[in-house]
């Protein structure tokens, strides 16, 4: 999620249905700009906490990051942060070289 907020947090449990299922494996990385004037960073942090509290997603699949110089816009640096934070989830670990 890029520079977002959590609409209707009180209704999300009903909207998503019961806990568990395939959704538990979904990876959510919420990235927010600290200078976002539309959705301030504290609101984003509260939204992320509400998402965690719902328990709809596995805790290890939820992450929150903020970028100090980012406003309500997309940037290449933002995409790079997401890629670096996610590589280990999608690519297998490199093989360990045999002992010399």
How far is it, in rounded angstroms, from Cα 72 to Cα 40? 9
pTM of the predicted model as reported, rounded to 2 decimal places? 0.71
Residue 4 lies in a domain: no
Number of domains into which the chain is organized: 1
Residue 94 lies in a domain: no
How far is it, in rounded angstroms, from Cα 72 to Cα 87? 25
The two three-digit tokens of residue 76, written as one number: 């290449």
The two three-digit tokens of residue 41, written as one number: 């960073």
pLDDT tens digits for the chain (100 residues)?
555 666 666 777 676 665 556 667 778 888 888 999 888 999 889 889 988 888 888 888 888 988 898 888 888 888 888 888 777 766 667 788 888 7
How far is it, in rounded angstroms, from Cα 22 to Cα 57? 9
Residue 83 lies in a domain: yes
Residue 82 lies in a domain: yes
Residue 99 lies in a domain: no
Residue 3 lies in a domain: no
Residue 20 lies in a domain: yes
Residue 97 lies in a domain: no
How far is it, in rounded angstroms, from Cα 9 to Cα 56? 12
For residue 63, what are the domain limits? 9-89
């Amino acid at each position: 999620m890029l520079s977002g907020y959590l609409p209707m947090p009180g209704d999300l449990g009903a909207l998503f249905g019961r806990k568990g299922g395939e959704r538990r494996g979904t990876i959510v990385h919420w990235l927010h700009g600290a200078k976002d004037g539309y959705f301030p960073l504290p609101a984003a942090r509260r939204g992320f906490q509400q998402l965690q509290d719902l328990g709809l997603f596995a805790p290890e699949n939820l992450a929150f990051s903020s970028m100090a110089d980012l406003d309500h816009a997309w940037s290449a640096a933002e995409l790079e942060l997401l890629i670096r934070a996610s590589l280990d989830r999608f690519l297998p670990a490199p093989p360990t070289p045999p002992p010399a």
